[in-house]
Amino acid sequence: MNEKQKPKKVQGNDSFQRINYLYQISKMMAEKNPALSSYYGNLVINVAKKNVLKIHPEIKRQLCKKCRCVLVENVTGKMKVKSSKKTKTIEWTCNTCNSKRYFPANKGKDHRVWLEKPEAVVEVIS
């Protein structure tokens, strides 16, 4: 191997750092000022769109689709587990705009997004 092998640069690394920072601020502001949390959540989406980047599914799941506020249980949103005969779902209700999001939660099935599965990882860049 070549001794002076350069580490690979990730495209949009500074944008990913900005998205992470804005998400953290949004989460901190959720309890104090939901409107400001929505503003920072909106910035997260806009930075990702402008730079054509994919937001991590875990971050995406925690943002309200309508007002972009970070959903924190018993602070900015309510979480309920609903079950019918065959399926279980998790229902998030945003306290700011009252919109609802549903996620599957069956015990025996793998409900992870493809990005979270081990076969999705091709190469780890440090």
* Rounded CA separation 17/122 (Å): 22
* Rounded CA separation 97/120 (Å): 35
* Rounded CA separation 22/107 (Å): 33
Residue 84 has a pLDDT of 84
Residue 3 has a pLDDT of 57
Q: Please enumerate, as own/partner, the contacts of 5-10 that have beta carbons within 8 Å and a separation of 24 or more.
A: 7/125, 7/126, 8/125, 10/125
Residue 7 has a pLDDT of 65
Whether the CB-CB separation of 53 and 12 falls below 8 Å is answered with yes
Tokens of 120: 């999705």
Tokens of 51: 């730079």
* Rounded CA separation 65/92 (Å): 11
Residue 29 has a pLDDT of 93
What tens-digit pLDDT sequence spans the chain (126 residues)?
455 666 667 677 899 999 999 999 999 999 999 999 999 999 999 999 999 998 988 899 999 999 999 999 999 999 999 988 888 899 999 999 999 999 888 777 776 776 677 777 777 776
Residue 11 has a pLDDT of 74
Q: Maximum distance among all alpha carbons in the chain?
A: 61
Residue 125 has a pLDDT of 74
